[in-house]
Amino acid sequence: MSDEPLGEEVTDAMTRARFVAFVRDARQGVVATIDADGHPEAALVGVAVTDDGELVFDSPNGTRKVANIREKPRVALVIGWDDGVSVQVEGDADILAGPEREAYGRAYLAQFPGSRVLDEDFAVVRVVPGWLRCYDARSEPPTVVEKVCW
């Protein structure tokens, strides 16, 4: 089984290593949250990923997405699209504090040098994926690979 990034070749197996490589290459995604009234909201974010496949992004504390995640931590993201390949992710998000905030903030900073992720005015958000779908539109018909996460 190959551990090449998803954008290079999609097979019938999606490994954690391939997911991590894809996210690190894509660097951006759209996160969707639900507000208190049940309305969807979406925002483009810079997305980092740990070696374990956990996603990390930052956001100013006063944003709608931070408020939404505090109330309803279930989120969805679409990551990447270069070369016709994207990954959809569903999972649980949390706003980190204390040593976890520092550790995940440093992981984000390693992938986004110069970020203000560790400033007091920013939230550090971790998303633990529960489900993935890779969509590769380079073939006809498109290739779709789904996975319940590790």
Q: How many CA atoms lie within 13 A of 91 on its CB side?
A: 25
CB atoms under 10 Å from CB of 12, counted, come to 7
The per-residue DSSP string of 75-118 comes to EEEEE--GGGEEEEEEEEEEE--HHHHHHHHHHHHHHSTT--TT
3, 20, 22, 36, 144 from 68: Cα distances, Å: 35, 26, 27, 7, 30
Give this prediction's pTM: 0.90
CA-based nearest residue to 120, from 139, 102, 144, 140: 102
Q: From CA 148, how far away is CA 150, in angstroms rounded?
A: 7
Instruction: Give the pLDDT confidence score for residue 99 in this predicted structure.
Output: 98
pLDDT in tens, the chain (150 residues): 344 545 444 444 678 999 999 999 999 999 999 999 999 999 999 999 999 999 999 999 999 999 999 999 999 999 998 889 999 999 999 999 999 999 999 999 999 999 999 999 999 999 999 999 999 899 899 888 888 876
Query: Measuring CA to CA, which residue among 68, 63, 40 is closest to residue 127?
Result: 68
Task: Classify domain 16-142 at the CATH superfamily level.
Answer: Electron Transport, Fmn-binding Protein; Chain A (2.30.110.10)
Helix or strand holding residue 145 (H, E) = strand 143-148
